[in-house]
Chain A
Amino acid sequence: MIDRDEVLHVARLARLALSEEEIETMARELSAVLDHVARIAELDLSNTPPTSHVVELTGALRPDVPRPCLPRELALAQAPSVADGGFLVPSPQA
Chain B
Amino acid sequence: MSDAELLALSAAGALAAIAAGELAGGEVFDAYLKRARGDHEAGVDGLNCFTWVARGPADDGSSERGDSPALAGLPLAVKDLFCTEGVPSQSGSRILEGYLPPYTATAVSRLTAAGAGLLAKTNQDEFAMGSSNENSAFGPVLNPWDRERVPGGSSGGSAAAVAAGLAPWALGTDTGGSIRQPAALCGIVGMKPTYGLVSRYGMIAFASSLDQAGPLTRDVTDAALLLSHMVGQDPCDATSLASPEPIRTPFGESLAGVRLGVPDELTGEGIEAGVMESFNGALDSARELGAEVERVKLPHAPHALSAYYVLAPAECSSNLARYDGVRYGLRAEAADDLLQMYTRTRHDGFGAEVRRRIMLGTYALSSGYYDAYYGRAQRVRTKIAEDFRHVFGGVDFVVTPTSPTVAFKLGERTADPLSMYYSDYCTVPMSLAGIPALSMPCGLSEGLPVGFQISGPAFSENRLLDAARALERALAFDGGAARV
Contact = CB atoms under 8 A, between A and B. Distances in A.
Contacts of B376: 40-41, 43, 45
A55 B72 CA distance: 34
Nearest to B337: A94
Given A16-B355, A37-B306, A50 B378 contact: yes
A6 B196 CA distance: 37
A78 B379 CA distance: 41
A37 B380 contact: no
A66 interface: no
Contacts of B286: none
A33 to B, nearest CB: 6
Given A15-B346, A36-B418, A49 B303 contact: no
A89 B238 contact: no
Contacts of A83: none
B356 interface: yes
A17 B344 contact: yes
B341 A90 contact: yes
Contacts of B335: 90
A57 B377 CA distance: 21
A4 B359 CA distance: 13
Contacts of A89: 326, 338, 341
A71 B16 CA distance: 43
B337 to A, nearest CB: 4
B379 A49 contact: yes
B306 A50 contact: no
Given A37-B306, A43-B303, A91-B338, A55 B363 contact: no
B356 A30 contact: yes
Query: How many residues of B sit at the interface, in one of the four size bands?
Result: 35 or more
Given A37-B373, A50-B375, A70-B102, A18 B381 contact: no
Interface string B354-368: 011011101100100
Interface string A72-94: 00110111110000010111111
B118 to A, nearest CB: 20
Given A39-B303, A54-B209, A81-B331, A92 B338 contact: yes
B393 interface: no
A11 interface: yes
A49 B358 contact: no
Contacts of A38: 306
Contact of A40 (B303, B337, B360, B418): B303
A14 B303 contact: no
A65 to B, nearest CB: 10
Interface residues of A, number: 54
A53 to B, nearest CB: 7
Contacts of B383: 43, 45, 48
Given A26-B356, A51-B382, A36 B433 contact: no
Interface in B431-463: 432-434, 458
A1 interface: no
Interface string B302-317: 0101110110000001
A29 B338 contact: no
A23 to B, nearest CB: 11
Given A54-B433, A55-B434, A78 B239 contact: no
A30 B338 contact: no
Contacts of A61: 238
B418 to A, nearest CB: 6
Interface of B: 99-100, 102, 194-196, 209, 235, 238-239, 241, 300, 303, 305-307, 309-310, 317, 321, 324-331, 335-344, 346-347, 350, 355-356, 358-360, 362-363, 366, 372-373, 375-383, 385, 417-418, 421, 432-434, 458
Given A16-B346, A92-B339, A93-B337, 15 more contacts: A14-B359, A16-B347, A17-B340, A32-B417, A36-B305, A45-B380, A49-B379, A50-B382, A54-B195, A54-B432, A55-B195, A62-B238, A80-B330, A90-B337, A90-B340
> Top 7 closest A-B pairs, CB basis?
A54-B434, A50-B378, A80-B331, A78-B328, A17-B347, A17-B343, A94-B337
